Structure formats: structure tokens, C-alpha cells
Structure 1
Amino acid sequence: MTVPDIPKQQRAAVRHGSGELATTKIETVDVQLPGPGQILVKVNWTGLCGSDKSLLQDDWKGFGISMRPETQGIAGHEGAGTVVAIGEGMHKRWKIGERAGIKWIASTCGDCDYCATGVEEVHCEKQINSGFSAPGTFQEYCVVDGRYTSKIPDGVSDEEAGPIMCGGVTSYVACKRSAVKAGQWLVLPGAGGGLGHLAIQYARAMGIRVIAIDGGDEKRELCQKLGAEVYIDYQKTKSPADIKDQIMKITTSGAHGVIVTAASKAVYEFAPMYLRPGGTVVAVGLPSDPTLLAGAPPIVLALRRLNIVGSITGSTKDVEEALEFTSRGIVHPILSKGKLEDLDAWVKKLKAGQIVGRAVLQVAA
């Protein structure tokens, strides 16, 4: 193993407390060196995902999902940085100085039926997840599985690559899961947010016509700039039914697909009503309320032959494809930049819906 100048200790944002009152504090922790099959990445930038906020504040406790002790209180799963140490068995795959992207799925078993397909490893039951069951990217140095870590191509900066590790690939795969084809209509509630603004770009790159739904003139400007053909400001509508009426007027028979990134009850209730017969709702946003359901009355689903599907993250191949859009200059995350020291303040902004685009935090000093 080649080891350049690597400090024995590092800065990390460590979680304290639980629930909505949980906070993070910058602490000094040990730097771990990679073992067989692993690499050590110096994290330069990390995205801040809504899932990070949900894990830090126990939003999904009702589903039995909480940060595990193995994380050592360090969340984060959208990291981008430089390889500084290589473990046994990884020298053919990685070189010191290469850039690497750290994802939600940090490692998979490689042997189960899902892993064997080469495209379904997201369902591996033995997977390890950054910031959930292993220390995440809210630290300066992160040990990761060298086999599963993504190579960042030229033309993609570290601050852009971080958010693509989760937000980008999630939006890209959701567009594919919607089964909407070029020239057809896709509705994106929450279009001006971290996932939505990326979904607009991937959809447009696929030739899909986009109806963006969000609130305010700032979001309108962003969505239209990114290629949304229509913008509906929910703040200026009388009711969710009014949004449905506008969509029907624009599309004649309804949209071909809806990707729900906004984790709200009203959106999930009405999303199926935006569709034409045979259309698809893609559930992406993850509400904290375990009683909230995605769908429609069975008679509506049956008579209109609607599809309700879920989507979360993507395979290593999906990440490679999502990064390629950026390397080709087609998709670029709109970034709100901060520093790791201000993580709690950015979590509050995220919770309040005050971030346009995607938040990304500088980690390396």
C-alpha cells in the first residue's frame, strides 16, 4: 500500500443528541487506513442530501431506520475527492491522485442474486451505506470499498460530482423509471429543489417535455432556465385540484409520468390524478410519516391502468451514465456552496426549503 503524507487525525462533523434537536459538532477523530479491497479518499466536497437531514434528525425512526453505531456519528453520502492511499488488491483499479466519488451504497456483497445481474446491486441485502451503516462523507478522510467507488471523469469538478453521487443519479434513474419517452409530458412537483432541478435537466436531455411545479418567482426563473416548458406556481393556485386542471389543459389527456420528489401528503394524493391512462407515478421523496401512502383508489388504478413505482439511487453503471451527462456539458447541478463547519445551518435551510438547487459543502481545509 502506498501511503503519502496522511495525518493521523482529521476534522469530522459528529452527530450529538437525537431527533429534531440533534446537532453536529466539528471534532478531531482518527484517520483510518484502508485494508484489503479498500481505498482512502481525501474528501474535498460533499453534497448535503435530504436523506442526511432525515438520518441526523431521526425522521425515519417510525420505519426502523436510524443511523447505526458503526457510523461513529458521521453522516454524509455525496463525497468527491482524491485517492491518497490504496489497500491490497486495488492497485490495478486505482492510482494515487485519481478522483473518486463516494455514494450512498458504499459496498455490496458481490455474490447475491441482485449483485450477479450487474445492474440490480441496489437491492443487495448485505450492502453497506455511507452515513447510515458506515462513517460517511462529513469528514476529511473516508475509507471506502475500492470496487464500488466511482471514478470521476474529466470535465466534472469535485463540487459537481458530489451531488451527482446521490441526487443526480436518483433523478436520472427516476426519469428512466417513469418510462416517459421523448416528446411526452413529465410532471415534476418540487422541480426547483435539489432533486427536481436535476430531474428537469436529465428529462430535457432525453427529449422529454417538462411541467415544473414549485413555489415563487425564484424557482420559476430556475426551472425555466433549465428547460421546463411550463411552470405552475402552487402558491398561486386555489387548490391541488386547480393544478390538476392546469395539467389537463396543457396535456389534453394528462401527463405520461410524474416524479414525486416533494415528500408531501398533498402531492402524493394528487399525483396519480395528473396522469393520462397508462401513466406512471415515480415515488422518490421519502416522507417521515409512516401512514402516508402513494397511490390512488383501486378503481382509479384499475380503470385507468396506472403504474405506481418506486425509485431510489442507482447502480454503479447508472452513476457512470449520470456523470457522463455533466462531463459532456449537458447537466450541471445548481450549487449553493458552504463549509462543513456550518453543517447545522445548512440542515436548517434544507428543512425550511430555502436552498435553491443543491447544497454542497467544502470539506478539505
Structure 2
Amino acid sequence: MRAIRQYEFGPAENLRYEEVEDPKPGHGQVRIRVRAAGVHLLDTSIRKGIGGGPMPLPTLPMTPGREVAGVVDELGPDADASWLGKRVVAHLGAASGGYAELAVAPVTALQEIPDGVTDEGAVATIGTGRTAMAVLNEAKITAGDAVLVTAAAGGIGSFAVQYAHNAGAFVIGLARGQEKLAIVRELGADLAFDYSEDNWADRVREALGDRELTVALDGVGGSQGEAALELLGVGGRLVMFGWSAGKPPELSAMDFYGRGLTVSVPIGQRMLRVPGAMRALEDQALAEVAAGRIMPLVNEPIPLAEVARAHTDLESRRTVGKVVLRP
């Protein structure tokens, strides 16, 4: 089979498209003929050798990729025969191996893809979707909320915009460029602003009028996350799920005492510490998509051989929605 191999940490050009041996499933495992493989921002950090996240740095050489969708084409010993031939999606965890034509996964990681859900949509849901559900469960959005979503055209952001809209909240999305702003509006945002403009926070404040911002969902951090915090009204909730800007927002105790704000981070180790929590979040995300309440926003699939472009585009924020590779 063809797969992506990485022999040293560093730039995207270190990802090599090579011919390797077909993997064989072990006890309690199946082999998946991959039709779509997800690319996560965390993948780019791991590629560069940056640790400290929920996934440990791998031993090299390795095949990256932790989200795959496809068809089960081989069973390992003790694997339930009913999985053979089924369309499935799986998060491979620290084992990785998803950037390939064939991938091995434990039966316990498999989710059958619901009818009407594409392979690309399933991949966008199994990892990104479950993270989005952890964030949204924490935010507890209601019809009375005014919600700000940073990076609203990204995988988690687009999921959050639709969910908040469905809850009846007033939704403001941040994105960069007219194309992404148009998409954010189509997803259900009442207003969309370009975060690259210096006065975006003033425009949000003006648009809110007498209404106070009650929820900010931030995956960008840095100055944008700090501006989102400043926009929150008394008793507002800031839910953070990353800092694509390179650093988290700077917070002080007075931010909390002065306005009675709450700040929470429901992802990472917190998601992993409760047995069965990850599976429950996957179930919840897939149910939202299968019911048509959420439409996974997926970037135009990129050929597996062009994975370096996928990583570079994601890091430079040129992508819209979930980045997916097609073997």
C-alpha cells in the first residue's frame, strides 16, 4: 500500500509518500480500507516535534493521522465477524497510522457510519466533532445567549455556529476573508466579522447594542482570545479549546472577580480522565450529523500524496472546515 512516512521532526516536507507493507490486524482489531483521513492541527504540532498536548510525541519513523473512515476489509483474531464489509469511522488515538490506504484499528474504536453521512463528513465528526461537543456541553448554550465563535469557519467553529443557531442563540462568527464570512453566515451566524480588521471588536460591541455577550467559544487565543474575553458581559462564560495563534490569552484573577466571569477548558486531559466520555461524545456528534442538525464543513479533499500542502494550508489558515486527505 501507499502511506505517508515521517522519519524526523520538522517541516511539512518531511512527510514522505512511500510504498510500505500492508498492515495486518492483531487480536481484537480490524483493517480499514481508508476512503478519507482527517488532518488535525495537532498533527502539525506532532510533525514539528512539539509536545505538551494530549497526545505524546511518537517514536519515529511513523505514519501520522488519527482519524479514518472507510470499509473494514480484514478481521484480526477475536474480532466480531459482523464488522467485515461495514462502513466505519475510527479515531486511532496515539497509535496513529491514518495517512495511508490501509489502517488498523481496535474494534472498540469503531463507529458504524450512519446512512446519509459521507466518509469525509464522518471523519470530520469522529475527532473534531467530539471535541466540539465537549466544548458545547460545557457552554450550555440556550436561546437567551449571545454567542461569539472565533475561527468560525474551522472544523470546531463551524460545528459550534450551527449548534448555537439551532439552540436559538444570537450567534456572531469571526473568520478571515469574504469567502469564509459568507460560509459562516450560511451556517447560521446572525453576524460575521473579519478578525484581521483592527476594529472587529468595536464592530461586535456596536452590533450587540444593549445586548450583552454571554458566551465566547475561543480556539484562537492570543490577542483575539483576549478581545473575546473583554467583550463578555457580567457573568459571561469563556470556553477555550486551543490557541491556533500560538499562545493562550493572558488572563488575570481580576477578569473573574471584576465581572463574575467563568473560564473553562473542557478538552485535553479533562476529556480523557472519565472512562467512556470520548465514546459518548462521538455518539453525540454522530447523532447530530445523522439527524441533519449539523452539516460537517469539509475542505475540498486533498490527495494523500499532497499531504505537505494539507499541513501547510492548515497552518496558514487557508482552509475552510475540516481538512481531509483522500488516499
TM-score, length-scaled by structure 1: 0.80
AA at the equivalent of 1:20: P
AA at the equivalent of 2:10: G
AA at the equivalent of 1:192: A
Cα separation, 2, equivalents of 1:46 and 1:21: 17
Q: Let me know the Cα RMSD of the aligned residues.
A: 2.4
Which residue matches 1:332?
A: 295
The list of structure 1 runs, each at least 4 consecutive aligned residues, that deviate by more than 6 angstroms after superposition, is: 62-65
Cα separation, 2, equivalents of 1:252 and 1:78: 43
- Answering whether residue 307 of structure 2 is matched by residue 343 of structure 1, we say yes
- Answering whether residue 241 of structure 2 is matched by residue 278 of structure 1, we say no
The verdict on how the C-alpha distance between 1:188 and 1:177 changes in structure 2, with shifts beyond 3 A counting, is same
> Any stretches of 5+ residues in structure 2 without a counterpart?
272-276
Deviation at 1:159, TM superposition (A): 1.4
Q: Which residue among 130, 150, 164 is the counterpart of 2:111?
A: 150
- Answering whether residue 262 of structure 2 is matched by residue 307 of structure 1, we say yes
Deviation at 1:65, TM superposition (A): 6.4
The verdict on how the C-alpha distance between 1:189 and 1:323 changes in structure 2, with shifts beyond 3 A counting, is same
Which residue matches 1:123?
A: none
Which residue matches 1:15?
A: 6
Alpha-carbon contact 1:205-1:330 (below 8 Å) kept: yes
Alpha-carbon contact 1:248-1:254 (below 8 Å) kept: no
The verdict on how the C-alpha distance between 1:223 and 1:346 changes in structure 2, with shifts beyond 3 A counting, is same
Q: Which residue among 35, 49, 72 is the counterpart of 1:44?
A: 35
The verdict on how the C-alpha distance between 1:203 and 1:136 changes in structure 2, with shifts beyond 3 A counting, is farther
The verdict on how the C-alpha distance between 1:233 and 1:287 changes in structure 2, with shifts beyond 3 A counting, is closer
- SS of the aligned residue for 2:83 comes to coil
Q: Which residue among 66, 70, 82 is the counterpart of 1:77?
A: 66
**Equivalent residues, number:** 318
Cα separation, 2, equivalents of 1:207 and 1:330: 13
AA at the equivalent of 1:354: R
The verdict on how the C-alpha distance between 1:229 and 1:86 changes in structure 2, with shifts beyond 3 A counting, is same
Deviation at 1:95, TM superposition (A): 2.1
Q: Which residue among 247, 256, 263 is the counterpart of 2:214?
A: 256
Q: Which residue among 230, 233, 236 is the counterpart of 2:197?
A: 236
- SS of the aligned residue for 1:42 comes to strand
AA at the equivalent of 1:325: E
AA at the equivalent of 1:268: G
Which residue matches 1:218?
A: 179
CA shift digits 1:307-339 (9 cap, x unpaired): 111133761121112112222222222322111
> Any stretches of 5+ residues in structure 1 without a counterpart?
1-9, 107-128
TM-score, length-scaled by structure 2: 0.88
- Answering whether residue 61 of structure 2 is matched by residue 100 of structure 1, we say no
Cα separation, 2, equivalents of 1:246 and 1:329: 30
Cα separation, 2, equivalents of 1:301 and 1:140: 49
The verdict on how the C-alpha distance between 1:251 and 1:140 changes in structure 2, with shifts beyond 3 A counting, is farther
Deviation at 1:180, TM superposition (A): 2.1
Which residue matches 1:317?
A: 280
* Aligned sequence identity (%): 24
The verdict on how the C-alpha distance between 1:159 and 1:178 changes in structure 2, with shifts beyond 3 A counting, is same
Cα separation, 2, equivalents of 1:316 and 1:340: 27
